[in-house]
């Protein structure tokens, strides 16, 4: 397989820019774009009406996608979700008696811990499904149901387009599950799939913020530490944003649920600490806003990712604000991923690291 960087300086940047296209493709295998009805990709047949509990597991970025997936399944289908990093799921040997489906998320389909977890779930007699990007991988071969992300080959070690495709697959799957379980009626289904179809356009719009984010990254590159905060659907994004930054820029970064700020990380805040806050104007906004004010009161330097409504709320006087378009909640994890990717990317470029091949990391980890 030969993949070219084209006119891009790095594979990572090329892959960031491929997202409008590949999330659209991925959506197309979960939604019939002519009728707006959800469906499962060819070969998969999961009837969610009999599924009350799902055990999710994955590693790395896939784990954060699964964390968003849990919010989606619980919110749109009222399916309870257990969630573990695969290395813990496998060895924790948790009782799986109440679990109806084990769902794995993996770009490569070869991660040893995830594969071991899949095999463990099968041994216990569970039905298994995998959201996987590489068709001919071990996980794709061994799972009962394969739900492909159509991100295409991802070369940059730090995952970008595979992540947003995983989010898209999970969102569509949760809507499907809601339909099967009678939680979403035909009209709501059309509404939600209509919203999901807006994702490529919104991601494209957000890509236009690259210059502004590159400016910010010159400043970020002078820092030793960074904190990322988010609530609800934005909490997993805080974790993913911190992971991206540390993976490729080697700046120490931590992601936290914004509500946990006062239980520890607030002790770290002073005027040298950048705090990236992911705060779309959703049901969590007011609570996040008060966390932002707590950071501001302690001199922390705020980088606020929000939308027009959130920016208009004027929660702090002095923040670097990146304004994204307003959008329905289900889309925020997908669209807000993009500025986080660009921030990590440009910070790493500033620092002169090997963006596509960061030290000590491998694209696919085949040892436990």
User: In this structure, how many other beta carbons lie within 10 angstroms of the beta carbon of residue 226?
Assistant: 25
Question: 91-110: which residues touch ligand G6P (CB under 6 A)?
Answer: 106-108
Decide: is 114 part of the binding site for ligand G6P (CB under 6 A): yes
Whole-number minimum distance, CB 102 to ligand G6P, in Å?
15
Total of chain residues touching ligand G6P, rule CB under 6 A: 15
Nearer to ligand G6P, 114 or 284 (CB): 114
Of 24-32, 44-52, 220-228, 358-366: span binding ligand G6P (CB under 6 A)? 358-366
State which residue, 33 or 361, has the beta carbon closest to ligand G6P. 361
- Residue 363 as a binder of ligand G6P (CB under 6 A): the answer is yes
Active-site residue, 244 included: no
Applying CB under 6 A, does 62 fall inside the site for ligand G6P?
A: yes
Q: Helix/strand/coil (H, E, C) string of the chain? A: CCCCCCCCCCHHHHHHHCHHHHHHHHHHHHEECCCCEECCCCCCCCCHHHCCEEEEEECHHHHHHHHHHHHHHHHHHCCEEEEEEHHHHHHHCCCCCCCCEEEEEECCCCCHHHHHHHHHHHHCCCCEEEEECCCCCHHHHHCCEEEECCCCCCCCCCCCHHHHHHHHHHHHHHHHHHHHCCCCCHHHHHHHHHHHCCHHHHHHHHHCCHHHHHHHHHHHCCCCEEEEEECHHHHHHHHHHHHHHHHHHCCEEEEEEHHHHHHCHHHHCCCCCEEEEECCCCCCHHHHHHHHHHHHHCCCEEEEEEEHHHHHCCCCCCEEEEEECCCCHHHHHHHHHHHHHHHHHHHHHHHCCCCCCCCCCCCCCCCC
If the CB atoms of residues 161 and 181 are measured against ligand G6P, the closer one turns out to be 161
Report the residue number, 48 or 235, with the smaller CB distance to ligand G6P. 235
Rule CB under 6 A: say whether 237 interacts with ligand G6P: no
**Stretch in the footprint of ligand G6P (CB under 6 A) among 53-61, 140-148, 198-206, 207-215:** 53-61
Site string for ligand G6P, 120-139 (x = CB under 6 A): --------------------
Which of residues 40 and 158 has its CB atom nearest to ligand G6P in the complex?
Answer: 158
Could you say whether residue 60 binds ligand G6P (CB under 6 A)? yes
Per the residue annotation, which of 5, 122, 223, 363 is the catalytic one?
363
Q: Which range in 122-130, 229-237, 334-342, 360-368 contacts ligand G6P by CB under 6 A?
A: 360-368
CB nearer ligand G6P, residue 134 or residue 327? 134
Binding mask 145-184 for ligand G6P (x = CB under 6 A): ------------x-x-------------------------
Distance in angstroms (rounded) separating the CA atoms of residues 50 and 357: 44
Rounded least distance, CB 219 to ligand G6P, Å: 26
Output the CA angle 242-140-116, nearest 5 degrees: 70
List 49, 361, 366, 368, residue binding ligand G6P (CB under 6 A): 361
Residues near ligand G6P (CB under 6 A): 59-62, 106-108, 111, 114, 157, 159, 361, 363-365
Task: Just list the catalytic residues.
Answer: 363
């Amino acid at each position: 397989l030969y993949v070219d960087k084209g006119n891009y300086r790095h594979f990572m940047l090329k892959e960031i820019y491929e997202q409008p296209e590949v999330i659209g493709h991925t959506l197309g295998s979960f939604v019939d774009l002519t009728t707006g009805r959800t469906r499962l990709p060819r070969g998969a047949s999961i009837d969610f009406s009999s599924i009350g509990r799902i055990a999710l597991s994955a590693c790395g970025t896939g784990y954060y996608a699964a964390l968003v997936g849990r919010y989606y399944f619980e919110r749109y289908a009222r399916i309870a979700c257990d969630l573990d990093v695969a290395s813990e799921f496998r060895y924790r040997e948790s009782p799986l008696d109440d679990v109806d489906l084990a769902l794995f998320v993996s770009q490569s389909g070869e991660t040893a811990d995830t594969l071991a977890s899949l095999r463990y779930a099968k041994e216990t007699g569970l039905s298994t499904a995998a959201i996987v990007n590489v068709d001919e991988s071990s996980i794709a071969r061994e799972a009962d149901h394969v739900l492909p992300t159509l991100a295409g080959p991802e070369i940059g070690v730090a995952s970008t387009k595979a992540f947003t495709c995983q989010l898209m697959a999970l969102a569509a799957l949760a809507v499907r599950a809601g339909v099967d379980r009678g939680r979403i009626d035909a009209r709501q289904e059309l509404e939600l799939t209509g919203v999901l179809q807006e994702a490529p356009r919104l991601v494209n719009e957000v890509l236009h913020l690259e210059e502004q984010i590159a400016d910010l990254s010159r400043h970020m590159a002078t820092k030793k530490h960074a904190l990322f905060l988010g609530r609800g659907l934005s909490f997993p994004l805080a974790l993913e944003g911190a992971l991206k930054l540390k993976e490729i820029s080697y700046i120490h970064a931590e992601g936290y649920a914004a509500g946990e700020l006062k239980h520890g990380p607030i002790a770290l805040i002073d005027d040298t600490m950048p705090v990236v806050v992911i705060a779309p104007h959703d049901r969590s906004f007011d609570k996040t806003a008060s966390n932002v004010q707590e950071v501001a009161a302690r001199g922390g330097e705020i980088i606020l990712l929000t939308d027009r409504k959130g920016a208009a709320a004027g929660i702090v006087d002095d923040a670097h604000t990146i304004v994204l378009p307003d959008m329905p909640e289900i889309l925020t994890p997908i669209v807000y991923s993009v500025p986080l990717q660009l921030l990590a990317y440009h910070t790493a470029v500033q620092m002169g690291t090997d963006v596509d091949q960061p030290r000590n990391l491998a694209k696919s980890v085949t040892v436990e």
